[in-house]
């Protein structure tokens, strides 16, 4: 009997994601998990009841490929309310299996073998592998602490005739930075000058602090023509495990997007789509998100104020970066291992978000946790860095 050939990997250098690694380490050592980005509190019971309601009413068969019309209409109304722009729910919105699927499909829709794709680093882990699966070449541009601002001149300098797509993430995971309007203008100018498509990952759109606003690519008509914008209900409604999201793009881009989406999942969970359509009617749910998380950010910062961990500016998302260089010389991957295994708090190192492993001695802490969890973790961290007595 002949043996099968050894599979030649499409992604030979890709291992398990740092989020999975750190969650497993937290479980193995009983550490408080401030690593992987998910809430440790439940999503609203009213929303859970709605899912049950729609299941019992028999909404249990395939949804339309693009998404349940009532949900797409509710999404369009939300975009109108938050960004002041009209989006056509039939031609421009597709409901996806989380933002992850939207990112996969959007990249696959535009990248041909040999195309170059600009990724700003530190970058969320799912972008680069999908570019490579499509035969594209990743061109990283590094953002540097403490402000992690984009130098658009540096981005322009790496553009070539083969550059096809730029991927941006605003508000930004892991740095917590948000785009100013000037950033969007610069992005629009760059995309037009070099004829680029834009993929804008905006899953933290509602988590922006200190009275600032989220500026979506959808808010600028010319930029919107060239953009896919990816969103996630998991971040907005505290149910990351439901894996529900959507992509907004112009009609011609959406047409190409759906050609691929239909063969990735065809359509996503029907009763949850109906439940979300009803839940979206209440603006207070997303309007209360920023103050809800800002309180947690402030609690964490105050509780760690007397430690050598120095917070970097955090304008959005539910992540806070800390510079630990005053406390340790360890590389970040070793530092987080020590913190999780010896001191009982799991965090995320930032160097895995860079293709060259750039290590600025910075860790990411997720504060989408109950206040008690944040207090418990802060007490452990204060103890870990308390000056030696005697
Ligand atoms: N983009 C970013 C920046 C994220 O942090 C996440 C985290 N989950 C995603 C995309 C994926 O979203 P989803 O869980 O809806 O697939
Ligand atoms: N977005 C989450 C984070 O940044 C992780 C999601 C995942 O584990 N893939 O922590």
**Which of residues 282, 302, 332 is at a domain's end?**
282
Residue 278 in domain: yes
Per-residue confidence (pLDDT) for residue 3, from 0 to 100: 81
One domain, residues 89 and 216: yes
Cα dist from 307 to 175, 304, 326, 381, whole Å: 20, 5, 10, 8
Residues 206 and 328 in one domain: no
Determine the Cα–Cα distance for residues 133 and 75; give it in Å rounded to an integer.
31
Segments of the chain scoring below 70 in pLDDT: 1, 389-390
Pocket test for ligand 1, best of 95, 98, 200 (most atoms within 8 A of CB): 98
Q: Is the CB of 33 under 6 A from ligand 2?
A: no
Task: Choose the residue to mutate in 36, 363, 366 for probing ligand 2, maximizing ligand atoms within 8 Å of C-beta.
Answer: 36
Supply the pLDDT for residue 13: 92
Q: Is the CB of 232 under 6 A from ligand 1?
A: yes
Q: Give the count of domains, the chain.
A: 2
Same domain, 294 and 357: yes
262, 282, 302 - which closes a domain:
282
Are residue 115 and residue 154 in the same domain, yes or no?
yes
The boundaries of the domain holding residue 36 are 18-43+284-384
Taking only the tens place, the pLDDT of each residue in 188-223 is 999 999 999 999 999 999 999 999 999 999 999 999
How much distance in Å is there from the Cα of 382 to the middle of ligand 1?
A: 30
- Cβ atoms of residues 155 and 149 within 8 Å: no
Which residue owns the Cα nearest ligand 2 atom 2?
37
Ligand 2 atom with minimal separation from the 173 CA: 4
Q: In terms of domains, do 24 and 120 share one?
A: no
- Mutating to test ligand 2, I would choose from 14, 19, 236 the residue with most ligand atoms within 8 A of its C-beta, which is 19
354 Cβ inside 6 Å of ligand 2: no
Domain-terminating residue out of 241, 260, 282: 282
pTM for this entry: 0.97
Distance CA 206, CA 257 (A): 25
Beta bridge partners of 139: 118
- Same domain flag for 254 and 364: no
> The CATH number of the domain where 302 resides is what?
3.90.1150.10
């Amino acid at each position: 009997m002949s043996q099968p050939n050894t599979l030649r990997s499409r992604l030979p250098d890709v291992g398990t994601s740092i989020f999975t690694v750190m969650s497993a380490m937290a479980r193995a050592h009983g550490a408080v998990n401030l690593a992987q980005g998910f809430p440790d509190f439940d999503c609203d019971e009213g929303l859970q009841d709605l899912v049950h309601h729609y299941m019992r009413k028999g909404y249990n068969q395939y949804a339309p490929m693009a998404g349940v019309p009532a949900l797409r209409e509710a999404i369009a109304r939300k975009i109108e309310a938050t960004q002041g722009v009209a989006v056509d729910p039939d031609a421009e919105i597709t409901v996806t299996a989380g933002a992850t699927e939207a990112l996969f499909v959007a990249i696959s829709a535009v990248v041909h073998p040999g195309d170059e794709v600009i990724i700003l680093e530190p970058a969320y882990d799912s972008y680069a592998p999908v570019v490579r699966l499509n035969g594209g070449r990743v061109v990283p541009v590094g953002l540097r602490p403490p402000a992690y601002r984009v130098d658009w001149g540096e981005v322009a300098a790496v553009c070539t005739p083969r550059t096809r797509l730029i991927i941006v993430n605003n508000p930004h995971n892991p740095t917590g930075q948000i785009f100013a309007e000037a950033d969007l203008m610069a992005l629009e100018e760059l995309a037009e000058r070099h004829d680029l498509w834009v993929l804008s990952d905006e899953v933290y759109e509602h988590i922006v602090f200190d009275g600032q606003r989220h500026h979506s690519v959808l808010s600028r008509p010319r930029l919107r023509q060239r953009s896919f914008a990816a969103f996630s209900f998991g971040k907005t409604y505290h149910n990351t495990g439901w894996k529900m999201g959507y992509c907004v793009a112009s009609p011609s881009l959406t047409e190409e997007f759906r050609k691929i989406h239909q063969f990735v999942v065809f359509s996503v969970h029907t009763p949850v789509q109906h439940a979300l359509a009803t839940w979206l009617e209440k603006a207070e749910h997303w309007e209360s998100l920023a103050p809800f998380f800002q309180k947690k950010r402030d609690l964490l910062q105050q509780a760690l104020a007397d430690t050598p961990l120095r917070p970097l500016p955090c304008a959005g998302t539910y992540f806070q970066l800390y510079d630990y260089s005053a406390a340790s010389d360890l590389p970040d991957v070793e530092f987080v291992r020590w913190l999780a295994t010896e001191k009982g708090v799991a965090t995320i190192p930032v160097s895995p978000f860079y293709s060259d492993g750039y290590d600025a001695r910075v860790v990411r802490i997720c504060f989408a946790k109950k206040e008690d969890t944040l207090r418990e973790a802060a007490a452990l961290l204060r103890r870990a860095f308390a000056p030696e007595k005697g």
